[in-house]
Amino acid sequence: MSKLKKILSGPWLFPLLLFAVGLVVYGIFFKMGFYWDDWPVLYLIKSHNTQTVIGYYFYDRPFSSWTYLALFPILGFNATLWHLASFVFRWAGTILLYQVFLAVWPGRQWQLRWVAALILFFPGFTQQSISIAYDQHFLTYFLFSLSLYLMLLSIKKPKWFSLLTVAAMLASFIQMFTLEYFAGLEIIRPFILWLIFRNTESSRSQIFKRTLKYWLPYVLPLLVFAWWRLIYYPSLPIANENTLSTLQQMVASPIAGITHLVKICAQDSFYLIVTVWTKLLTFSDYNFPAISSLVALALGVVVAVVYYVFDTVASRHDHPEDPHSFPLSTLWVSLLLILLGGIAFWINGSQITRGKWSDRLTLAPLIGASLLFVFLMEKLGQLISGLFARLRTHFSVKPFHIAGALLGITLALSLSSQLLTTNTYRLDWINQQNLYWQFYWRVPYLQSDTNILSYYTADEKQADYSIAEAFNLLYHDPDSGTMPDYWFLTQVDTQHSQLKDPDSPYSMQLRNITFQSIYGNTVAIYPSHSQCLRAIDQPYYDDPSVVEEKYYFRVANMSRISAQAPDPNYVPDPAIFGAEPAHTWCYYFEKADLARQLSDWQTVLQLESEANQKGYTPTNDAEYLPFIEANVQTGDWKTAIGLSQQTIQSNDKLKSMVCDNWQNYSNQGVAPPKGYTFSQVMASLGCQ
């Protein structure tokens, strides 16, 4: 028993428990990859041009590029290391914040351990797996927490006051100028100091003096940042990338501006205080009875139970009697943290509740939201316990047990939700690898200034520009980074009128990156998670899968595709795209479709033979087309007819496509072998 108490009293048990849970929940050692804004960073670093990297981020956060320039020499292009680093920064920042809160509310370890867990696994933030892009965010979060912790140490260690204060000021200065997300939270310092000194001083004047003494050094970096962000930066010509739109509206029209600010503040605050937590009870992220949902829920429950037992036993060691309740100061501090955490983006006109990627804006205010939730659950536990007591029932439960059960349920659902989110990223990475490798198989090399056109992005965790930058890394490192060889377009970037004229120009400007071409320099694709990637070429015109892409046939230029790269030994960097997948059906289809385009019929037949020997079958029977045509062109019409019949029988909607291709073979002057005529074949297929 004494050994157990010794273990529970160890200062590192709680941090290690959180760390271990995080490794599992965020899938650090799963086969995770790169997503969304990770790709621009990879592309820029691969350009081997520091000025290009600095220039890209100079448009909205001029001092932020140092994080990537410093970390890439250490972490390289290893996805696992980036995921680990991103989590370590977030975990370390949370542990430091836990220590700061302990100084503010001593004797509340029980509640604050729940706060730390909810901060680390906050259900309203779902982008932990975007590791490179958010490494910057979590590094600044760590620096903010470190600055607060060093400030705390400067109070405890007067001999080291000057050194610790300078280090804390430096951390504060760096985190604000790197990324403004946590800048608003700097204003919480005097309130934290006041509460800390209130625990040790009885005189208000003495509390005020000590608060002022220890806070004044941090006013300098805050004022410098405020001048930069609110006065100097808006005057720069680059400031249109990160404008203070709400603040500008308040200056131009105070009533309208303040009304708008209050509105978005209220909407986001309601989301953080209510919606984030109640959404867990809807189970909207689950897909029962799917195994992934059941496993995620079961694992979340098991981990939460273990955490509840640990916290309960540890609290008994901390406090033989019932734990101290949170004071009322917890309420106003948590509300203040929410407001200060949101102000940095509210003055930009941004909102948590608007935009696909906007839950990243929860990173600062989620600290206050988690603290407030634990405070409210504790009060609810007291209310329920008091209700039982007033009813004079034989059943009585202590308030902190009730609160612990409620928090345990919340943590279980939060962990389960994050596990499911991690799994969607894992699956998305598999889909991305399939997309890029299948494209590489189908397009061994692509001429410069080529548009890659698709009706949609295909990957949920991607944007059009991030896919564009991934395609630019398929064939070689970027020459300069500012003028990519290729760009990815979707129906959002095109109009049908433009696609009617292949000579219509297309240009794109993304910060310091410029791409120019014409619509006639286009390779159109149909990406799908359930089928092999399709390069849109005339034989597939009547494929029902590509109904939305009909207009793309007008500009699809297959001559942009080269059969061989300048360096025949080159393969996409496996550190970025993963090892080349096993050569299953899609490999044989992509290579056969390339050979069909080149009229290399013997290669198509060889690929068909190998695929048949290995037992591979199409993901969609439209993928038989290269093999049908190769057999037609080489005189094996029996096989061609059999494949055509099989295609139509599998999906009657493919009949029009098959029949049109047979008509095209006739129009091309293909000579039928003895005993066959085009009219007989088409009649047997039911072609009208």
Element (H, E) at 562: strand 561-562
pLDDT at position 444 is 94
| Mean pLDDT to the nearest integer, 192-208 | 88
Q: How confident is the model at residue 3 (pLDDT cuts 50, 70, 90)?
A: low
Q: Over 60: is that where the pLDDT of 466 sits?
A: yes
pLDDT at 244: 78
Rounded to an integer, the average pLDDT of 354-378 is 93
What percent of the chain has pLDDT above 90? 59
pLDDT digits (tens, 9 = 90+) for 130-167: 999 999 999 999 999 999 999 999 999 999 999 999 99
CB 302 within 8 A of CB 80: no
Q: Per-residue pLDDT averaged across 222-239, rounded?
A: 84
> Which structure tokens are listed for 598?
């080149």
Per-residue pLDDT at 27 exceeds 80: yes
B/e letters for 542-580, b = 16+ CB within 10 Å, e = fewer, are bbebbeebebbebbbbeebbeeebeeeeeebeeebbbee
One-letter amino acid of 464 = D
Closest CA to 520 of 559, 475, 571: 559
Report whether 631 contacts 643 (CB < 8 A). Answer: yes
Judge whether 376 and 283 are in contact, CB under 8 Å. no
Q: Give the contacts of 687 (CB within 8 A, at least 6 positions apart).
A: 655, 658, 659, 662, 663
Please state the pTM of the whole predicted model: 0.92
Report pLDDT digits (tens) over 402-453: 888 899 999 999 999 999 999 999 999 999 999 999 999 999 999 999 999 8
Q: How many Å apart are CA 16 and CA 356, to the nearest integer?
A: 33
Give the position of tokens 């906007």: 358
Least confident stretch, 80-84, 191-195, 528-532, 596-600 = 528-532
pLDDT at position 5 is 58
Task: List phi, psi (to 5°) of 506.
Answer: -130, 130
Q: Is the pLDDT of residue 239 over 60?
A: no
Rounded to an integer, what distance in angstroms lies between the CA atom of residue 648 and that of residue 639? 14
* Residue 302: φ, ψ to 5°: -60, -50
Residue 138 CA to residue 234 CA, distance in Å, equals 26
Residue 638 has pLDDT above 80, yes or no: yes
Structure tokens at 269: 């605050």
The pLDDT score that the predictor gives to residue 253 is: 87
Give CA–CA dist 591/376, Å, rounded.
Answer: 61
pLDDT digits (tens, 9 = 90+) for 5-26: 566 556 788 999 999 999 999 9
Q: What angle do CA 461, 466, 469 make, to 5 degrees?
A: 145
Mean pLDDT value across residues 339-365: 91
Residues 6+ apart with CB under 8 A from 510: 465
How much is the pLDDT for 461? 83
Per-residue confidence at 276, pLDDT binned at 50, 70, 90? Answer: very high
Cα–Cα distances in angstroms (integers) from residue 201 to residues 165, 212, 478, in the given order:
22, 14, 62
**Residue 15's pLDDT is what?**
93
pLDDT of residue 61: 87
Q: By C-alpha distance, which of 138, 147, 333 is closest to 222? A: 147
Is the pLDDT confidence value at 320 over 60? no
Output the pLDDT for position 9: 58
Cα Rg of the chain, angstroms: 31
Mean pLDDT throughout 60-85? 94
Looking at residue 185, its pLDDT comes to: 96
Q: Is the dihedral of CA 109, 112, 118, 121 positive or negative?
A: negative
Question: What is the rounded CA–CA span in Å between residue 90 and residue 80?
Answer: 16
Is the pLDDT score of 1 beyond 70?
no
